[in-house]
Amino acid sequence: MTTTRLPLLALLTGAGISTDSGIPDYRGPQGVWRRDPEAERLVTYEDYVGDPDVRRRAWRLRLGHPPRAAEPNAAHRAIVDLERAGAPLRVLTQNVDGPHQRAGLAPRTVFELHGSAHRTACVRCHARRPMEEALARVAAGEPDPSRATCGGVLKPATVMCGEALDPQVLARAVAVTKAADVFLAVGTTLQVHPVAGLVELAVRHGARFLVVNAEPTPYDHLASEVVREPIGTALPELLERIGGRATA
């Protein structure tokens, strides 16, 4: 008896999928870095580690906008609905605030390529702790909390500009990309490498490539479909079409 393998959908999601949740993107027309070029220093490893003023500003912003503040939107929920309908899928996300998991995706389904803002990492001993602990110290009056045991600088457990991706997470993402039948990029400018290179890898291995993004990307010419409509409405409609094929 032979069984038919259902097509695997890989979704590469960027900041644009979360703008409807009130989380601004970085490089879009109203992106954080376009409105405030200095904000890029807050997520640049060399500036963050080397300049206490940068860290203090970053901690004030985190205290005012904790990573759990935003709720998942229709786009996040549409991905969950598709998974629950039985379509095999994996989410490779550049986002660090966890909206896919809060929407209900199984943790095994989500690959956090740029880490997680829900934990801190010490640059000296590499210990990881819940972000809430550090934010409580900031709220109590510590403008730049350090690791209590070794005195090392604390940063979010995210991949800052100038840092390399976790090789294990990247290797798993590469494996998913090679196996994907459909590779869908959502809300990402596809300008950050090595993640952007996953597109060409997917296409080389035979995946159908689609883009949902407000602005052009360097890889639009490889796509069989490019959607410029708002993600909150366009993605649920697109996934409904894809899901009909995947679960039929």
Active site residues: 114
Q: If you compute the radius of gyration of the chain from its CA atoms, what whole number of angstroms results?
A: 19
Q: Specify which residues 65 forms β-bridges with.
A: none
Which residue in 121, 122, 101 sits closest to 111, CA to CA?
Answer: 101
Tokens 């390399």, located at residue? 164
DSSP string of the chain, one letter each residue: ---PPPPPEEEEE-GGGGGGGT---SSSTT-HHHH-GGGGGGGBHHHHHH-HHHHHHHHHHHHHS-TTSSPP-HHHHHHHHHHHTT--EEEEE---S-HHHHHT--GGGEEETTEEEEEEEETTT--EEEHHHHHHHHHTT-SS-B-TTT-PBEEEEE--BT-PPPHHHHHHHHHHHHH-SEEEEES--S-STTGGGHHHHHHHTT-EEEEE-SS--TTGGG-SEEE-S-HHHHHHHHHHHHHHHHH-
